[in-house]
Structure formats: structure tokens, C-alpha cells
Amino acid sequence: MKFGYMSVSKVDLNSAQKKQLEDFGCDRIFLENINSSRRNRPELNRLIEFLREGDTVVVTDLTRLSRSTKDLMAVIERISQKGAHLKSLKESWIDTNSDDGKILLTYLANITQFESELTTLQNKEVVQAANRIKKKRKEILSSISRLSTSQQKQIIGHLDELITISYDMLFRN
């Protein structure tokens, strides 16, 4: 069976999507009246529970199913676990019932994994840089704290010219 899935936030989008899904021959259409970027989508969950082996989930556009690649891949995995397939009318290459669609989806999954690993690596690098700065700040504070207040302000004044940092900012808790 073919099951259409619609995710609309505005009523005027509803009729165009519904007509496309009906014209494609969907036996039943599940309508979500919330933004597709939300994690909790009761109608999508109900549709996936309803699926049987050999069924096809049809969407007019992938953005109706998900707004992020990571979430899209998770939804497709849930559909596949039921033995069902996904077909996008706009992105005709997304058809998990065809060999070409499966290959393209594999590429998409690999790109998604690469993006995720790259983001994780970048986040680690940012945390490491912040930790180095924090360590240097402590070293600077330790050295400066041994000086008199007038000497501290003089050094901070020079630092301020070089790196635009104020006395209060350097000595904040």
C-alpha cells in the first residue's frame, strides 16, 4: 500500500500536498499539523507503526518529512526496519524501492556521517582552544597578581592596546 505523509504549518499548503499525494495513488494520507523540524511528530510515528512489509511512504518533498539530514536518515531507517520504502515526489531520486535510490541514499548517509564527525571534531577543537586560553589566563593572572595594583593596571593597559581586554575582564571570576 502507498501511504502519504503531509507535514503542514499553514492550511493553504495542505490542499496542494494532498492533491499531489492523491494523484500519486496514496491509499491513506497522514496529516501532521506541526513543523517538520520538531522531533515529536505523532502522525509520523503512527504512520510508521502502521507500516507493513512492502508498503511505501510517499512525501511530496523531503522537507515535509524532515529539516535535517540526520533526522531524515533516522526516519528512513525506521521506515526500512518495517520493510517499507520511501518515495519523494519532488526528489525523484529518493526511492528506496529502486537500486539507484538505495545507492544514492547510501551516499547521502555517508555524507551525513562525515558531517557529524566533522562537527564533533570541530567542537573538540573549540573546547581544546578554550581550555588553552583558560590555562593561559590563569598563568597570566598568577603572574600579574604578584605585582602592585598600579603595575597591574599598567600591564593591563598595554594588553588592552594589543588585544582589547580590560582590567575587569581579565580579573573577572
Give the torsion through C-alpha atoms of 110, 30, 61, 19, to 10 deg.
160
Question: Are 72 and 63 a contacting pair, CB within 8 Å?
Answer: no
Name every residue whose Cβ is closer than 8 Å to that of residue 166 and which is 6 or more positions away in sequence. 156, 160
Active site residue 36: no
The active-site residue out of 9, 15, 37, 92 is 9
Name residue 108's amino acid.
Answer: L
Q: Which residues pair with 95 in a beta bridge?
A: 87
Q: What's the rounded Cα separation, in Å, for the pair 74 and 78?
A: 6
Q: Cell 507500516 sits at which residue?
A: 51
Q: What's the rounded Cα separation, in Å, for the pair 7 and 59?
A: 9
Residues taking part in catalysis: 9
